[in-house]
Amino acid sequence: MHTLIKKRKKVINKMFELTEKPDNWEVYLSLEGKNEFALLKPVCSECQKYWSVNRKECFLCKTKYYRIKICKECSSIYPENVTWCINCDKKDGKKKGTKTVKICINCGAEETGRSKIFVPITFCWYCGNRENEFTWKIKSF
């Protein structure tokens, strides 16, 4: 292993040792090459619990998006990364069956083409507050 990579790995390991709870922190290294780094974490301004920026909700009814797709023909449920329905493929004997779509499990709104119905969360899933903020720390190693 290259010496620079070994040194960088030690620095990164040291950074995470210095954090009290390493999960969900975003790490930003100094551009000036200083021995400091910044830790940022989005939290709810009310209950201070982690505000996930990766989670999504339905724009229309605010239901959680569970990262699933549904076949409109046979109502089979698939993970988000499956494009074609396997069940419809077997029935018709075609190479490609029915295309799966993202549908809200609560209101039935369908995400098609450029119309996006799933957006980043707009409220805290723990307390219902609509405001978030960043907790941050600057650490040295």
d(CA 21, CA 107): 37
Residue 57's Cβ-side half-sphere holds a number of Cα atoms within 13 Å equal to 14
pLDDT tens-digit profile of 13-47?
766 666 555 677 888 877 777 778 888 889 999 99
Domain of residue 29: give its range: 1-45+129-141
Q: Do 26 and 69 share a domain, yes or no?
A: no
The number of domains in the chain is 2
Q: Do 93 and 71 share a domain, yes or no?
A: yes
Q: Do 104 and 133 share a domain, yes or no?
A: no
pLDDT tens-digit profile of 52-111?
888 899 999 988 888 899 998 888 899 989 988 888 866 555 556 688 899 998 998 998
CB-count burial class (<10 Å; 0-12, 13-18, 19+) for 44: buried
d(CA 119, CA 122): 8
Apex CA 75: angle with CA 71 and CA 79, to 5°?
55
pLDDT higher than threshold 50 for residue 1: no
Q: Return the structure tokens found at 53.
A: 């920026």
User: Residue 58: left (phi > 0), alpha (psi -120 to 50), or beta?
Assistant: beta
Residue at 115: amino acid letter: S
- Domain assignment present for residue 120? The answer is no
- Domain assignment present for residue 20? The answer is yes
Report yes or no on whether pTM surpasses 0.75.
no
